[in-house]
């Protein structure tokens, strides 16, 4: 493998990373700006972080987002896991192709359409728009992502584990909770985290399906930006980025550690 750093390589890496991260770096830098003007540097300060915690509107929106995220991710994980199990295990029922297509369609469905159709549904059944409707909408569109993640794990799942459990006297339900679930748990957790992140992130569907008193953080930020960007928003976004980054870093370190430990164990086992 050729690993020399040619000028071309360096240029493309710098440009690539700048393209990806320059906006985010700018946002973080200006969140520490003393000046009220977003684009003019007026010295270092953390005052916007302090004022952020006194901005009731933003704090409420954060709380709503967190609750919507946790509830919708949890429900979506349960439903998505069930769908994945059905699709991998019962490969012969009638209409399976149609069913699996329908489960995965929301993956590629434009969010505007999902949002609009959900709005029409909620209006038709007379459900007042608010916390419940946003949560329901988020369950709907994140469920298929969970199903994809869990299904990819189930495809490689060794069915003889379940047979062994039943052979040793565990009825099907017990087998599921004592064997299947613990083994596929990492995939289910990834699915939950993906669903939570998607819910946290969503602006379009939330805008369609939310109502008074249930403004999510992305909606709040978007509406405030329309009135002019304040450094306070920058601060809020920086915190959001920090939370996500820390989560990702912890997850990948834990993963890497497990992998190394596993390799060490296996080498030790081979030696006897």
Partner 1 sequence: MKSLGSIRRDFSPWNDPNAKPYIQFDKVTKKFGDFTAVNNLSLTIFEREFFALLGASGCGKSTLLRMLAGFEEPSAGRILLDGQDLRGIPPYKRPVNMMFQSYALFPHMTVEKNIAFGLKQEGMPGPDVEKRVAEMLKLVKLEQFAKRKPHQLSGGQRQRVALARSVAKRPKVLLLDEPLGALDKKLREETQFELMDLQQELGLTFVVVTHDQEEAMTMADRIAIMDKGEVMQVATPAEIYEAPASRFVAHFVGNVNMFEGKVAEHMTSTTRITGATGAQIVVDNGSNAAAGSDIIFAIRPEKIKVSSKKPADAVNALEGEVYDVAYLGDMTVYHIKLDDGQIVRASALNASRITEDPLTWNDRAWVSFRPDAGVVLTR
For position 156 contacting partner 1 by CB under 8 A, the verdict is no
Q: Determine the interface stretch with partner 1 among 15-23, 125-133, 154-162, 233-241 (rule: CB under 8 A).
A: 154-162
User: CB of 115 within 8 A of CB of 137?
Assistant: yes
For position 268 contacting partner 1 by CB under 8 A, the verdict is yes
For position 262 contacting partner 1 by CB under 8 A, the verdict is yes
| Of the candidate residues 109, 116, 183, 229, the single one contacting partner 1 (CB under 8 A) | 183
For position 257 contacting partner 1 by CB under 8 A, the verdict is no
CB-based burial, 49-64: b 16+ in 10 Å, e otherwise: beebeebeebeebbeb
Rounded CA Rg of the chain? 23
Q: Determine the interface stretch with partner 1 among 115-123, 158-166, 188-196, 225-233 (rule: CB under 8 A).
A: 158-166
Entry field: residues in the chain: 272
Name which of 214, 213, 233 is nearest 222 in CA terms: 233
Residue 118: CB partners within 8 Å, gap ≥ 6? 133, 136, 137, 140, 205, 208, 209
Distance CA 269, CA 145 (A): 37
CB of 184 to partner 1, least distance (A): 10
For position 94 contacting partner 1 by CB under 8 A, the verdict is no
For position 169 contacting partner 1 by CB under 8 A, the verdict is yes
Residue closer to partner 1 (CB basis): 174 or 256: 174
User: CB of 149 within 8 A of CB of 187?
Assistant: yes
User: CB of 212 within 8 A of CB of 64?
Assistant: no
Q: Determine the interface stretch with partner 1 among 42-50, 130-138, 139-147, 155-163 (rule: CB under 8 A).
A: 155-163
| Of the candidate residues 28, 70, 132, 170, the single one contacting partner 1 (CB under 8 A) | 170
> Residue 168 phi/psi, 5° resolution?
-85, 5
DSSP secondary structure letter of residue 37 = S
Ramachandran sector of residue 4 (left: φ over 0; alpha: ψ -120 to 50; beta: rest): beta
CB of 271 to partner 1, least distance (A): 8
Q: Determine the interface stretch with partner 1 among 72-80, 106-114, 170-178, 245-253 (rule: CB under 8 A).
A: 170-178
Q: Determine the interface stretch with partner 1 among 54-62, 75-83, 148-156, 159-167 (rule: CB under 8 A).
A: 159-167
Q: Determine the interface stretch with partner 1 among 26-34, 82-90, 161-169, 246-254 (rule: CB under 8 A).
A: 161-169
| Of the candidate residues 179, 188, 219, 233, the single one contacting partner 1 (CB under 8 A) | 179
Q: Report the run of H or E that residue 168 belongs to, with start and end.
A: none
Residue closer to partner 1 (CB basis): 128 or 266: 266
What is residue 188's three-state secondary structure? helix
| Of the candidate residues 95, 171, 212, 228, the single one contacting partner 1 (CB under 8 A) | 171
| Residues found near partner 1 in the complex (CB under 8 A) | 158, 160-161, 163-171, 174, 179, 182-183, 262, 265-266, 268-270, 272
């Amino acid at each position: 493998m050729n690993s020399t750093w040619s000028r071309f390589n360096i240029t493309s890496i710098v440009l690539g990373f700048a393209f990806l991260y320059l906006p985010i770096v700018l946002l973080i830098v200006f969140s520490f700006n003393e000046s009220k003007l977003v684009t003019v540097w007026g010295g270092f300060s953390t005052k916007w972080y302090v004022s952020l915690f006194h901005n009731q509107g933003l704090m409420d929106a954060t709380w709503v987002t967190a609750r919507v995220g946790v509830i919708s991710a949890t429900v979506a994980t349960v439903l998505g896991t069930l769908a994945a199990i059905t699709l991998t295990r019962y490969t012969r029922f009638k209409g399976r192709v149609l069913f699996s297509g329908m489960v995965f369609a929301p993956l590629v469905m434009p969010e505007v359409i999902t949002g609009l159709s959900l709005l029409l549904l909620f209006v038709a059944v007379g459900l007042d728009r608010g916390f419940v409707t946003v949560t329901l909408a988020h369950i709907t569109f994140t469920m298929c992502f969970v199903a994809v993640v869990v299904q990819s794990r189930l495809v490689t799942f060794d069915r003889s584990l379940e047979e062994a459990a039943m052979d040793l006297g565990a009825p099907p339900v017990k087998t599921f909770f004592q064997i299947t679930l613990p083994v596929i748990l990492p995939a289910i957790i990834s699915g939950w985290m993906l669903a939570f992140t998607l819910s946290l992130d969503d602006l379009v569907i939330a805008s369609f399906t939310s109502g008074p008193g249930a403004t999510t953080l992305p909606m709040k930020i978007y509406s405030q930006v329309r009135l002019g960007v304040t450094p306070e928003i920058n601060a809020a976004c920086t915190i959001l980025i920090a939370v996500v980054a820390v989560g990702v870093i912890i997850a990948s370190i834990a993963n890497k550690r497990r992998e190394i430990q596993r390799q060490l164990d296996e080498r030790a086992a081979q030696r006897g």
